[in-house]
Amino acid sequence: MKIKIATWNVNSVRARMTVIASWIEKEKPDILCLQELKATEEQFPRQELCDLGYHSAVNGQVRWNGVAIVSLAPLADVETDLKGFLPEQKRMISGSVHGIRLINVYVPNGRDIDHPGFQEKLRYFEVLREYALASPGPTVILGDFNVAPGPVDTHSPEEQDGMICYHPLEREQISQFFSAGFTDVFRRFYPEGKAYSWWDYRAGSFRRKRGMRLDLVLANREADEIITNCFIDMEPRGWERPSDHTPVVFEMAVSE
């Protein structure tokens, strides 16, 4: 059977619940990985999602960060600790479903190249890679990586070169995932051409098509082999009260 999985930075799960419910109704994903909940587990709209038929595994935090995996089938072996790194920032939740390991991440933004947060961001990728490589079987890392992997993934690569989310050291970290055997799933289906998953709220960026592809699906070989499709759904970015990110969706052929 085929299952549909999506990743979406919703920029507050409570402010976005109407939009999320509409999108679920439209796309009917089997699994939805959310980032930037800006909510604690107690504040998370578990009941509303339950009414839509979904289980929720939540790693929440007051005000900032927070991630969740929302799934029709219950999740097994849920983990929220990333090798003890940045334990106070709730940025990772992983779990297994249909024999697939899903690692849902919200990578630190880094603030600025000169800010200590930038070094923390680079380190985050290393720790995440170690964690993902230790997972046996089909494994997918998905979420908001806060990096555009290459020039076709951002609106003005020349001007942005060296800036946050398009710095050579950040892009090098994404390359390291490729060297380690992970595939950029979206680019397997769309090898070239501008494609974005985030547009700044300011400056009419969405209307002016000035965005970045910051939300990625990275699959190891076993997972990549059974992924049959991947696309970015730009529609909800144009809805009322949207997130500044839009969902990245893929499908997998699983045995049951």
Sites of contact with DNA (CB under 7 A): 9, 11-12, 14-15, 36, 38-39, 43, 62-64, 108-109, 111-112, 117, 144, 146, 156, 159, 164-165, 198, 200-204, 212, 214, 241, 244-245
CB contact set of 6 (below 8 Å; sequence gap of 6+): 27, 29, 31, 32, 33, 233, 247, 248, 249, 250
Residue among 36 and 224 whose Cβ is closer to DNA: 36
CB contact set of 92 (below 8 Å; sequence gap of 6+): 59, 67, 79, 80, 81, 82, 103, 104, 105, 106, 128, 131
Neighbour-count burial for 107-125, b at 16+ CB within 10 Å, e otherwise:
bbebeeeeeeebeebeebb
Nearest-approach distance from CB 16 to DNA, in angstroms = 7
Nearest-approach distance from CB 9 to DNA, in angstroms = 6
Nearest-approach distance from CB 143 to DNA, in angstroms = 10
The gap between the terminal CA atoms of the chain, to the nearest Å, is: 6
Nearest-approach distance from CB 100 to DNA, in angstroms = 25
Greatest Cα-to-Cα distance within the chain, rounded to the nearest angstrom: 48
Residue among 77 and 202 whose Cβ is closer to DNA: 202
For residue 142 the two structure tokens come to 């998905």
For residue 248 the two structure tokens come to 């990245």
Residue among 159 and 225 whose Cβ is closer to DNA: 159
Nearest-approach distance from CB 236 to DNA, in angstroms = 13
CA–CA dist 78, 231 (Å, integer): 26
Closest CA to 29 of 13, 5, 51, 9: 5
Residue among 180 and 203 whose Cβ is closer to DNA: 203
Residue among 65 and 220 whose Cβ is closer to DNA: 65
Closest CA to 245 of 209, 213, 223: 213
Nearest-approach distance from CB 180 to DNA, in angstroms = 24
Residue among 18 and 228 whose Cβ is closer to DNA: 18
Residue among 93 and 226 whose Cβ is closer to DNA: 93
Nearest-approach distance from CB 121 to DNA, in angstroms = 9
